[in-house]
Amino acid sequence: MNLKKNLLALSVGTVIAAASTAASANSLLFPYFTTNNGGQSSLSLTTDGSVGGARDIHFVYNYGDACTHYDLNGQMTGNDLLQQSIAAPSVGGYGLAAGSDTSTPAYFPLANTQGFLVVSDTTSSSATAISGDMAIADPSTGLVAAYSGITNAVDTSVAANEGNFSTLTQTNFGLSFYPQAAVTTSWFTVVTGDMSTAIGAGADWDATATLSNNGNVFDNDENPYSGTMTKKITCSGTVAPTDLMTTAQQAAIGPNGGLLNATWAPGAAGTTTTSGNPSVYAATGVVMYKMQLVSAAVGAPFAGKMFLNEQK
């Protein structure tokens, strides 16, 4: 590992230490990773003591505009720690944080893409078998962030439970944004539901949900401007404020920030996807991560920084 990668790995480790308490479950959803050149997404996983010997850890990457499925297995033991880059060393990842680590990592083999990750312990029957955090340092966007994996809290040694996130059912969101000349705001969104059948089949997750502005956008002084706009997402994708505003609403909001009291409609199986095909899988809700990139014109200390947080 060269000096630059060591320093970047150290910065990622620092962010992990500052992350909120890790979630515990047999399947963990990590709603965002990136493999941009020059940056690192770093995964830290721990196991409980329910199985002391070798444990298969199943990684399911969902990546790119098509939300393509890619999976492979890592391996850990009881009361173990695995800290690895998401990107494989061959495409710029730093590899294992500790060279002496005997756990088996599960790298993603492509650079310059993004997506979400599901990690499951398929050996232990414990509902608190694994826990974990994702940390991201991306100099190209200014993003430095960390968050905990989202648990499904069920026994994923049972195949029907692996990736079952049907209990994630949030659909109503207050989407606020700063003046758009100062801050570029977007929301990376993962459509949630029972992913177990798709994972078992090695298939792309195609559950679909449609977001509506409910007929209004509000400016920063609570004035409503009417007009209905919607945005459909299949599997995962990005929503921008302009996706939910007509051109007239955009002009009315002008240089000021605004608020969209927006609602998702989860699609049943058979809903038309963004590619025009009927979906195989049903949606139950969404997870949204807000990204705010601050313009250089704002000045120090925020200029050029990107902030990430889970939208509630």
Task: Write out pLDDT tens, residues 247-281.
Answer: 999 999 988 999 999 999 999 999 999 999 999 99
Supply the pLDDT for residue 254: 87
Backbone angles phi, psi at 72, to 5 degrees: -165, 165
Domain edges within the chain: 3-161, 172-311
Question: 264 burial class (0-12, 13-18, 19+ CB within 10 angstroms)?
Answer: buried
The CATH T-level fold of domain 3-161 is Hypothetical Protein Tm1070; Chain: A (2.60.290)
Distance between CA 200 and CA 205 in Å, rounded? 11
pLDDT tens by residue, 185-200:
999 999 999 999 999 9
Q: Is the dihedral of CA 232, 236, 240, 241 positive or negative?
A: positive
Threshold 0.85, pTM exceeds: yes
pLDDT tens by residue, 105-143:
999 999 999 999 999 999 999 988 999 999 999 999 999
- In this structure, how many other beta carbons lie within 10 angstroms of the beta carbon of residue 157? 20
Average pLDDT over the chain reads 92
CA 111 to chain centroid? 17
Q: Which DSSP string corresponds to 194-226?
A: B-HHHHHHTPPP--EEEEE-TTEEEETTS-EEE
Token code pair at residue 42: 């770093």
